[in-house]
Each structure stands twice: as structure tokens, then as C-alpha cells.
Amino acid sequence: MKIKIKLESLENILNLSDSFCTIPIIMDKSMMFGAYGVGLNISEYIWYQLPEECKNKIYNYKEHTIKAMIVTLTNISAYSVSLSKNGK
């Protein structure tokens, strides 16, 4: 699943193709979904918003994958979600 979101003036794409996640729930300007096994790629803007506890876990365990979490995106001005299945 790819989720394309626009937050204020930034446009980002979350590529969840190689992970497991739930279908997003969208209410007003917020989107929530569960994510499992998502590759971690954090921008400076997001890094500064993380609690120190999360930063320490990333430093100490050198984790680059989110094992399981509920992701909440707020203040979304536009979004598109595409689902596809690659057949072999």
C-alpha cells in the first residue's frame, strides 16, 4: 500500500509495500493505521518531535524497523491511498 499525504506545504509518500498495515481510518484531517515491520526513515522535522524515550531506543538498539505501532497523521490537507496486489 502506498499512502500519499500532504501536510501543510510538504508532500510525502509512505511506501508500505513490503510491510503489513491496516487500512487507514480517515476522520476530518487525521489518518490512523496500524503498521508492522515498516522501514524507518525519519526526517529531521519528525526526529525533533519524537519523545526522548523513542530516540534512545533507536540509538541503543540501532532499530530501523517499526515492529508494531499505531500511526496517526494529523493536519492532512490532501491524501490518496492506492492498494494493489502484485501477481506472480
In the predicted model, is pLDDT for residue 77 greater than 60? Answer: yes
CA distance 14 to 88: 24
Q: What is the tens place of the pLDDT at every residue in 10-68?
A: 555 566 666 677 778 888 888 888 877 766 566 677 677 777 887 777 766 555 566 77
For position 8, what pLDDT does the model report? 53
pLDDT of residue 66: 64
User: How many Å apart are CA 62 and CA 3, to the nearest integer?
Assistant: 26
Pick from 4, 17, 1: nearest CA to 73 = 4
